[in-house]
């Protein structure tokens, strides 16, 4: 059983929950202007884990036939037979139940928004079949993370800094565009859509860079909307530096470092922005 759970968690790259979780915390901490109470904090964690697990599991199920035909992904759990469809669906349903339980336990508005947030993340898995804008759709789905954190605490959308969600949208669209370069050739052959397969890898990198510039302008403006101090802006500069290094590390002529960049650098960026937000709020209280 333990081995099976380990395989399932690896299948959905559970450790990469770190990408979206800090943004959910940012929304919650900004709504509270500090650390939310323990119950709310735990429920936000459960909601994020449930939503991402459900979405990633669904993605692996509906993409299984493409994964099997793609040499890069043929050894994933479902194509290789390490996980059955029944096991994968059981995980997806259980994670969905966990997500809705957490949303129900928080407040009425969180529960009302829950179907839209989860539905969009599930819908993303189908978008490569008909649009190259799939990366932006993933960005919209993950943009619910800070919004969800805010609503979990406030129970309303009043005064929410929308630039934060827009920043997440373009940040995600940028790194997902870069990551899609790994499968650009396969996507063309399989009739799937992505920016790299449509525009070519070099133009896709240029587009990702533009997305990331827009994202960090929006992250900076979040500090204005949320009334944060200089500590937050220092964090934005540090995160921007990490992102710039990521773009220097990976280029259209050498994709070998994409996985390392994708897994580590983006986790660092989201953590830096959250920590900068938290420290800014601490200084606000002390002052």
CATH number at residue 13: 1.10.357.140
Q: Render the burial of 99-119: b for 16+ CB within 10 Å, e for the rest.
A: bbebbebbbeebbebbeebbe
Cβ 150 vs Cβ 27: under 8 Å: yes
CB atoms within 10 A of CB 158: 8
| Residue 263 clears pLDDT 70, i.e. is over it | no
Under DSSP, is residue 254 helix (H, G, I), strand (E, B) or coil?
Answer: strand
Which residue range forms the structural domain that includes residue 158?
A: 2-215
254 part of a folded domain: no
Highest mean pLDDT among 75-79, 85-89, 103-107: 103-107
Q: How far apart are CA 246 and CA 71, in angstroms?
A: 26
Report the pLDDT value the prediction gives residue 260, as an integer from 0 to 100: 67
Report the pLDDT value the prediction gives residue 2, as an integer from 0 to 100: 67
Alpha helices in the chain (DSSP H): 2-11, 21-32, 38-62, 64-69, 77-80, 85-106, 108-127, 134-142, 144-154, 162-179, 184-190, 195-199, 201-226, 230-249, 258-260, 266-286
270 part of a folded domain: no
Give the total number of structural domains in the chain.
1
User: Which whole-number Å values give the CA distances from 150 to 5, 8, 20, 50, in the listed order?
Assistant: 31, 30, 14, 18
Backbone angles phi, psi at 255, to 5 degrees: -95, 5
| Residue 259 clears pLDDT 90, i.e. is over it | no
275 part of a folded domain: no
Q: How far apart are CA 251 and CA 260, in angstroms?
A: 13
| Residue 228 clears pLDDT 80, i.e. is over it | yes
Report the pLDDT value the prediction gives residue 16, as an integer from 0 to 100: 66
Which residues are paired to 251 by β-bridges? 254
223 part of a folded domain: no
280 part of a folded domain: no
CA trace torsion 96, 98, 103, 105 (10° rounding): 150
Q: Render the burial of 68-97: b for 16+ CB within 10 Å, e for the rest.
A: eebeebeebbbbeebbeeebbeebbeebbe
Look at 3-7, 12-16, 181-185 and tell me which has the smallest mean pLDDT.
Answer: 12-16
Report the pLDDT value the prediction gives residue 121, as an integer from 0 to 100: 94
229 part of a folded domain: no
Looking at residue 251, what DSSP letter applies?
B
90 part of a folded domain: yes
Q: CA neighbours within 13 Å on the CB side: how many for 158?
A: 5
Q: How far apart are CA 147 and CA 145, in angstroms?
A: 5
40 part of a folded domain: yes
Please state the pTM of the whole predicted model: 0.94
């Amino acid at each position: 059983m333990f081995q099976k759970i380990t395989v399932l968690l690896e299948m959905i790259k559970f450790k990469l929950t770190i990408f979206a979780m800090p943004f959910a915390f940012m929304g919650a901490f900004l709504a509270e202007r500090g650390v939310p109470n323990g119950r709310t904090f735990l429920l936000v964690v459960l909601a994020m884990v449930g939503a991402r697990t459900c979405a990633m599991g669904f993605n692996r199920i509906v993409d299984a036939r493409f994964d099997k035909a793609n040499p890069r992904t043929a050894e994933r759990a479902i194509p290789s037979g390490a996980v059955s469809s029944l096991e994968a669906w059981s995980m997806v349903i259980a994670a969905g139940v966990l997500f809705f339980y957490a949303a129900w336990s928080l407040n009425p508005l969180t529960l009302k928004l829950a179907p839209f947030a989860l539905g969009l993340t599930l819908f993303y898995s189908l978008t490569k079949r008909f649009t190259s804008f799939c990366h932006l759709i993933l960005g919209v789905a993950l943009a619910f993370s800070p919004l969800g954190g805010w609503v979990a605490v406030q129970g309303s959308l009043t005064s929410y800094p929308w630039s934060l969600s827009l920043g997440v949208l373009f940040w995600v669209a940028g790194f997902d565009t870069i990551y899609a370069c790994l499968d650009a050739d396969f996507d063309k052959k399989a009739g799937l859509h992505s920016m790299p397969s449509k525009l070519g890898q070099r133009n896709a990198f240029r587009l990702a860079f533009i997305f990331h510039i827009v994202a960090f302008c929006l992250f900076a403006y979040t500090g204005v909307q949320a009334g944060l101090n200089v500590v937050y802006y220092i964090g934005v500069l540090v995160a921007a530096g990490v992102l710039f290094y990521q773009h220097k590390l990976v280029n259209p002529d050498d994709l070998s470092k994409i996985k390392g960049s994708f897994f580590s650098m983006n986790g660092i960026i989201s953590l830096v922005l959250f920590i900068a937000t938290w420290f800014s709020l601490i200084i606000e209280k002390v002052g």
